[in-house]
Amino acid sequence: MPDIIELLPDNIANQIAAGEVIQRPASAVKELLENAVDADATHIQLIVADAGKSLVQVIDNGKGMSETDARLSFERHATSKIKNIDDLFHIRTMGFRGEALASIAAVAQVELKTKRGEDKLGVLLHIENSVVTRQEPCAAPDGTNISMKNLFFNVPARRNFLKSNAAEMRHIIEEFIRVAMAFPKIFFSLVQNGQEVFHLDPGSHKQRIIQLLGNHYSSKLVTVKEETDYMNIYGFAGKPDSAKKTRGDQYLFVNNRFIKSPYLNHAVMSAYQDMISKDSFPLYVLYIDLDPSIVDINVHPTKQEIKFEDEKIMYAFVQAAIKHALAQFSISPSLDFSLNADIQQLDAVNKPFNIEKQQQAASSGIYQDFTKKNQAHFIPPDNNLKNWKDFYIPATSPQTPQQILPLQQEGKKILTEIPFIQLHQAYILAVRENGFILVNQQLAHERILYEKFTSFSKEKKAAIQQSLFPQTIHLTPDDALLLETLLPDLQELGYQIEQFGKHAYLIQGTPADIPVNNDKNILEILLDQFKHAQASVELNAREKLIRSLARQHAVKTGDTLTQKEMLVLIQSLFECDTPGFTPSGTPVFLEFRKDYIDKMFEKKS
């Protein structure tokens, strides 16, 4: 047998290694911007075309490179930033692994023009597939001008993994914001397909944050500032009343590097405890500076995760700094989350479920039946259950409608004589001749709205209800970009949304016949879901939109429903094509058939 191991050719090895560093155009944006920052540039321009797929270009006025350095910079592990392993723990630069340019040159066509202040002429280099195809002296301004063209031109499989231009552009803007936010003293601009999206003059941290996130934030921020021997923290935290339903604007920088840290995020959130509701997120932009020797930034190829020598101190410090900032501005807890008295009285809350009770419950017949596998006491929802009118309970007095759900359209008979029982403000118990069903109110409504929204199309647009007091939503540039792409579909579904200044929109009208809701919130959540949607189930944008709207507009667990509302809900549910399941496949109701229930109470002989 011959030996079988071979060394990979350099260009293939480089392409494989590049996978860690360059995943999409935005990764190149991050690396090239960071290189410009490391070169002490004060003026950095980012130019992209085709969401970076055909061009990512960064022009800086930094220190430039000599001819030899320019050649070397594209070699793997070529860096001017560390010389030995000790340096790794004193890093003040953004880069240090010497991989970015080598990776980019392995998977794209690169053009570099660079000149140092002390040199008369600069150098021009063309590289593709890790091979230099052109090198010559050239006239150039001081600094570096580097273009990455046709990313993954030589790795079609990876090119196919790129997302839509809108999605890739969002990633680019995200990376741009992270770098620009860390260095407010540097001028940054971003030009996309010939249009200037950002133009950021040098200024203070606060000015930069407002340039990036929007003017409306200026009155919503409190300053965070603590200095100790161990570390400093500086930045801004949103006042509790400006917390949003989406996670969006939370930025944490350690030694000017944007990092993701669920642990420190938790520290911030805990400082807000009892000031904001559990499902909302405060804005924050925090800059932590500490001795580089007590953090390890070399734990992740793109350096977004780092390790602290002492995590607990970090947690306590961040939490205390935020608490202090919020207290200083005399923002006191405004929401009360204590349980209401009725609930507190309940045994289940009062008396712990102890071992003795557990054993009692386990030995009772019902419990045993319920836990027997394949026992036929639970029947999964039956999609053909259309004869809901079998409900047969006599009339009670109708209650005043609360308008949580729109009542039935004219012309349809409302069967007010059937009472329903709402349980735990979550379920509707509806009795039928041959048993009863337990309907999850929120999921049922989600199904109803889903089918309603689905029925709209270009030809049959939803009716729009004009808003008397149109709400304004201010968006970050990337959210605005995303919203733009969704506008045509939103219009069909009954949303009339108009641009109102840069990155701001007016909600002029909302879908008629759909429960009135906080549409500003709904749109914010919608954008957030789009951004963080798992790519595993690839749904088209319209389907995602409809599902999200149905979910947002649905009555919620916790809403009290009147008899009339429950009736309309049940009636509409069984007029659906698929009443048994939500669009994502969760059962909407459980059916309990009387004969099975009878069986469960039969004496065991």
- Residue 509: which of ligand ADP, Mg ion, none does it interact with, CB under 5 to 8 A by kind? none
CB 32 to ligand ADP: min, Å = 7
| Cα gap 289→230, rounded to integer Å | 9
- Count of residues in the chain: 605
Q: Which is nearer to ligand ADP, 302 or 408 (CB)?
A: 302
| Cα gap 324→267, rounded to integer Å | 13
Strand order in the sheet with 250-254: 221-227, 231-238, 284-290, 250-254, 257-258
Residue type for position 252: L
Of 21, 32, 59, 100, the residue at the interface with Mg ion (CB under 5 A) is: 100
Of 43, 71, 81, 126, the residue at the interface with ligand ADP (CB under 6 A) is: 81
Q: How many residues bind Mg ion (CB under 5 A)?
A: 3
Q: Is 239 in the site for ligand ADP (CB under 6 A)?
A: no
Q: 3-class SS at 539?
A: coil
Q: Is 188 in the site for ligand ADP (CB under 6 A)?
A: no
Q: How many residues bind ligand ADP (CB under 6 A)?
A: 24
Quick one: which of 212, 207, 158, 205 has its CA closest to 182? 205
Of 18, 51, 55, 60, the residue at the interface with ligand ADP (CB under 6 A) is: 60
| Cα gap 324→226, rounded to integer Å | 9
Q: Which is nearer to ligand ADP, 112 or 523 (CB)?
A: 112
Q: 3-class SS at 139?
A: coil
Question: Which span (94-102, 309-317, 381-389, 394-402) binds ligand ADP, by CB under 6 A?
Answer: 94-102
Q: Which is nearer to ligand ADP, 50 or 69 (CB)?
A: 69
Q: Is 80 in the site for ligand ADP (CB under 6 A)?
A: yes
- Residue 36: which of ligand ADP, Mg ion, none does it interact with, CB under 5 to 8 A by kind? ligand ADP
Asked if 570 and 534 count as a contact pair (C-beta separation under 8 A), the reply is no
- Residue 96: which of Mg ion, ligand ADP, none does it interact with, CB under 5 to 8 A by kind? ligand ADP
CB 100 to Mg ion: min, Å = 4
Q: Which is nearer to ligand ADP, 63 or 445 (CB)?
A: 63
Of 96, 251, 388, 574, the residue at the interface with ligand ADP (CB under 6 A) is: 96
Q: Is 93 in the site for Mg ion (CB under 5 A)?
A: no
Asked if 479 and 527 count as a contact pair (C-beta separation under 8 A), the reply is yes
| Cα gap 578→566, rounded to integer Å | 19
- Residue 101: which of Mg ion, ligand ADP, none does it interact with, CB under 5 to 8 A by kind? ligand ADP
Of 52, 95, 214, 509, the residue at the interface with Mg ion (CB under 5 A) is: 95
Taking CB atoms within 8 Å and a gap of at least 24, the contacts of 44-48 are 44/186, 44/187, 44/188, 44/189, 45/188, 45/189, 45/190, 45/191, 46/176, 46/188, 46/189, 46/190, 46/191, 47/190, 47/191, 48/169, 48/172, 48/190, 48/191, 48/192, 48/193
Q: Is 63 in the site for ligand ADP (CB under 6 A)?
A: yes
Q: Is 563 in the site for Mg ion (CB under 5 A)?
A: no
Q: Is 98 in the site for ligand ADP (CB under 6 A)?
A: yes
CB 333 to ligand ADP: min, Å = 46
Q: Is 213 in the site for Mg ion (CB under 5 A)?
A: no
Q: Is 114 in the site for Mg ion (CB under 5 A)?
A: no
| Cα gap 240→280, rounded to integer Å | 9
Using CB under 5 A as the criterion, what x/- string covers residues 3-42 for binding Mg ion?
--------------------------------x-------
Asked if 512 and 464 count as a contact pair (C-beta separation under 8 A), the reply is yes
Q: Distance of alpha carbon 312 from its chain centroid, rounded? A: 27
Using CB under 6 A as the criterion, what x/- string covers residues 13-32 for binding ligand ADP?
------------------x-
Residue type for position 83: K
Q: Which is nearer to ligand ADP, 40 or 227 (CB)?
A: 40
Helix, strand, coil content of the chain in percent (nearest 5) = 35, 20, 40
Sign of the C-alpha dihedral computed for residues 197, 203, 204 and 206 taken in this order: negative
Q: Is 73 in the site for ligand ADP (CB under 6 A)?
A: yes
CB 13 to ligand ADP: min, Å = 16
Q: Is 35 in the site for ligand ADP (CB under 6 A)?
A: yes
Quick one: which of 187, 190, 184 has its CA closest to 207? 184
Question: Which span (97-105, 443-451, 463-471, 481-489) binds Mg ion, by CB under 5 A?
Answer: 97-105
Tokens of 345: 């009285």
Question: DSSP E strands: which ranges in 203-272?
Answer: 221-227, 231-238, 250-254, 257-258
Quick one: which of 409, 418, 410 has its CA closest to 388? 418
- Residue 318: which of Mg ion, ligand ADP, none does it interact with, CB under 5 to 8 A by kind? none
| Cα gap 247→426, rounded to integer Å | 27
Q: Which is nearer to Mg ion, 105 or 497 (CB)?
A: 105
CB 24 to Mg ion: min, Å = 17
User: Can you give the binding site for ligand ADP, defined by CB under 6 A?
Assistant: 31, 35-36, 38-39, 60, 62-65, 73, 78-81, 95-102, 144
